[in-house]
Each structure stands twice: as structure tokens, then as C-alpha cells.
Amino acid sequence: MSAKISVAVTVNGTPHTADVEPRLLLADFLRENLDLTGTHVGCEHGICGACTILMNGDSVRSCLTFAVQADGAEIETVESLGDIDNLSQLQEAFREHHALQCGFCTPGMLMTVTDMLRKYPLATDDDIRDGLSGNLCRCTGYQNIVRAVRSAANKRDGK
Amino acid sequence: MKPAPFEYVRATSVNEALAALAAGNGEAKLLAGGQSLVPMMNFRLVDAPVFVDINGIAELAGIEATANGGLRIGALTRHYTLETSDAVRTRFPVLHEAMKHVAHLAIRNRGTIGGSLSHADPAAELPAMAVLLNAMIVTVSSSGGREIAAEDFFLAPLTTALEPDEIVLAIDFPGLPPGAGWGFEEFAQRRGDFAVAGAAAVVVMDGDRVTEARISLMGVHDTPLRASAGEQALIAGGIDAAAAAARREVEPMNDLHGSADYRRHLVEALTRRVLRAAIEMAAR
């Protein structure tokens, strides 16, 4: 065992402090220590995208980041978007276009798309597909996910 | 899987990082963006008693214009910063184009240029850009600073000329000759995947004559490869001769993404395309 290190992190607006082992992945810190199980853990090597969260506003793989590296950071997880009675605009677009089946990839998709919508014009559906290429949906429901993102991008652009 | 236990050192200056590496007696490793390293730690392919996190060293990040028309890019500069940099787009449009093929947004937000070069995946874009653009890798270690030419930096897959106690500070890209044309082509299974094969070129023309040719190949050799026979063939012969020469120069691997023969085929086809584009674009 290696010495625990103190970490202070703000998650969805709430400050937390904890002493953690350096090897604890941010994904496991969110799920196990903070009980925020919306962030899913799939491949643990950065391929599937299910664990994508926002760190200081940028989408990152929480399975490729250690909790100790989030010291001082602002983290946003899928729980920050909306709840069952009050979906965010993006979640509403996913619901409307049936962009989830089993739902395992959905939190990572939503956090990835949140960052994509802020950073890229997404002028074409090919741009959307490029942006989603780092998130795997094993139900293969990609067509509807692309439709949901198109709808969200159009709303963003006032179309 | 989860990484094996390790001690964590958060360095806030290059000197602190050097001291931590020295204290590790050659066994401590640097942790930058972690986008290649942490997967290997999770699989326990990489294990070290100490990891020195350099993400907090502000002096290592940033893009600076240099007097020779080039750029000095700090080792900790993130891929997303490179992708969106006006300085990169105007001074090295080929690098700007290559960045569109680097992984996915969440990876680009974290991954760093110094990390990509140090990881030295022969199928990655940034090592191939470093050899194409005659970059110098600026480093420091306990025994002092040095600059390593990109072509001497990559020794084998995932193996570089870096010593265990050496830190990449920056990558110096000398300015391109005025009027240089360029081309970039990559074939991958999906956008953002590692290249099955890729090619990039820089060409300088005097009238209809090629006066300088550079061809860089990725995913088809055990390092990123400057196809020097292909470059000479372009000046002496032409595009077809250059593409054929480049094909003979590479020693690709068979793997699940493609056979060695298929990769040789891609080298010839992609080299032809990048040379056509570069010659078309070069000012006469």
C-alpha cells in the first residue's frame, strides 16, 4: 500500500475532501467514494467512453485520470445535467429520438456531446459521427444518437 | 483492471520533477496527460514505484512563435490546444490537418505533445509530424540540457533516445520554406483510431522542378519513417517513382488491422496522394 493523499474536489457544485490511494481512478472515486454511479466504467483503457466526465469544463476519461489529479478541479458528471422529472435539453433530445436502449453508454455520450456542442460547429452529420467516434454503443443505436445530437445542435443554433 | 500501487509526486517545477526522478534511481516515471500511460498502468503493462505528475508545471505548456518562422511548443501542450491554435494553422497547416486525426475529443483534451512523442507509437500522428517537420526535441536531465533531432529520437516501437531521468521540455519546429506545399493522408478503421497507414509530405518547387522533398510515413515501420529513397526518387524521377520507392522502404507488421502487404499497398497509394497534393499546392 502506498501513502494516501488528500484530495479536494468540487463535484457537481458540491465540495468534497478525501484521503485516497494514488492509484484510485477518478471513475472509481466518483462511483465508490461519492456514490455517483451515473458515471459508468466499461473498458478501463480509454476506448469505450462510458466514463467520460467534465473536468474544469473539458470532457475527459475518468478511467484514465487518477482521483489525486483532480485535486482543486471542478468535476461535472451526468448527475449534473438533469433528473427524471426535469431532463436537460440534451437528455430530452436523447429521449425524443430514442437515442438509448440499454443506457450503459448514455452517460458518457451525454458528457461527450455536452463538450462537443460547446467546442464544435457540428455543421454536418459526419462531424457529429467524428465527434462520437470515441464512444461505443454496444446496442449499436448510433443512428438515433446522431439524430439526437443533430436536434440538440440545431436547438443550440436557434434552428 | 486497476493499476498496481505506486507513490505519487506532484511536481510544480521542472527542478522538482528532476529531483523526483533522481530520487527514483531510474525507476520513477513521468505522468503527463496519461492517455497512453494510464491504460498501460490499468493493464499492468507498466508498473513503477513512483509516478511524477508534471501536469501542474505551467512553464511546460504553451505555443511560442520563433524567429525562424517556426514554433516552439511546450511539452505539456494539449492536443486540443494544438488542434485549435491559429499559430499552428498558419505556420504548419500540415500539423493542423494531422491533429484532426488524433484520437477523440476527450483524449485530445488531456493528451500532450511531449507525451505522444515520448510514448513513440509508430502509428501515431505527432511522431510522424516531428520527423516530417525536422523538429528538435528539447530536453533536460540531471546531466544538463540537449536537443535531439526527431529522426534520432525514435529508436523502436515505444522506445526513444530519452534517458530515464530526462524530461522533454519543448518541441522546436523550424519554419517551413516559403511556398512549401504539403499533403496529409491517413487510413484508419474509424476516425480517431491509430493509423493502419499514413503518409505526409512537404514539397518545395522551383518552377516545375522539385527542389526539396520530405515524406513521412506512419503505421508501417517500427518507427515513424522519413522515406529518404522516396524523397530522392521524387526529385530524380517523379510521383510514381517516389511512391514505389517508399513502398520498398517500409517494413510493416502484420496485425489484426491489416497485413504487411496491405500496408505496403497503402504506403504507395497514400504517398502518391500526398505528393500530388503537395506539388499542386507548392508555389512555383
Cβ-based neighbour number of residue A5 at 10 Å? 19
DSSP H or E segment with residue B200: strand B197-206
Minimal C-alpha gap between B38 and chain A (Å): 5
Task: Write the ipTM.
Answer: 0.96
Q: Is the pLDDT of residue B189 over 90?
A: no
Residues of chain A with CATH 3.10.20.30: 5-80
Q: Is the pLDDT of residue A57 over 90?
A: yes
Domain boundary among B127, B142, B173: B173
Spatial distance between the Cα atoms of B37 and B121, rounded to a whole number of angstroms: 12
pLDDT in tens, A62-104: 999 999 999 999 999 999 999 999 999 999 999 999 999 999 9
CB-CB contact of A53 with A59 (8 Å): yes
CB-CB contact of B277 with B269 (8 Å): no
Q: In the sheet where B181-187 sits, what is the strand order?
A: B181-187, B197-206, B209-218, B225-226
> What φ, ψ does residue B273 adopt, rounded to 5°?
-65, -45
Q: Chain A neighbours among B 114-173 (CB < 8 Å)? A: none
> Contact B2/A23, CB-based, under 8 Å?
yes
Where does A5-80 sit in CATH, by number? 3.10.20.30
pLDDT in tens, A122-139: 999 999 999 999 999 999
What is the DSSP secondary-structure string of B171-186? EEEPPPPTT-EEEEEE
Find the CB nearest B38 among A49, A58, A64.
A64
Q: Is the pLDDT of residue A1 over 80?
A: no
pLDDT in tens, B100-126: 999 999 999 999 999 999 999 999 999
Minimal C-alpha gap between B58 and chain A (Å): 15
**Mutate which of A4, A6, A19, A23 to test chain B, going by most B C-beta atoms within 10 A?**
A23
pLDDT band at B250 (very low <50, low <70, confident <90, very high): very high
Q: For chain A, what percentages of helix, strand and coil (3-state, to nearest 5) are there?
A: 40, 20, 45
pLDDT, mean of residues B133-140: 98
DSSP-derived secondary structure letter, B42: H
Task: Indicate the average pLDDT of chain A.
Answer: 97
Cα–Cα distances (Å) from A10 to A49, A53, A66, A71, in that order, read 22, 13, 15, 9
Closest chain B residue to the Cα of A46, Cα to Cα: B39
Beta pairing partners, B156: B159
> Contact B5/A2, CB-based, under 8 Å?
yes
Q: Which CATH number characterizes residue B36's domain? A: 3.30.43.10
Residues of A with CB under 8 A from a CB of B: 1-3, 5, 21-23, 25, 28, 44-46, 49, 52, 58-61, 63-66, 68-69, 71, 112, 115-116, 119, 129-131, 133-135
Domain boundary among B150, B173, B196: B173
**Mutate which of B109, B119, B194 to test chain A, going by most A C-beta atoms within 10 A?**
B109
CATH architecture of A89-156: Orthogonal Bundle (1.10)
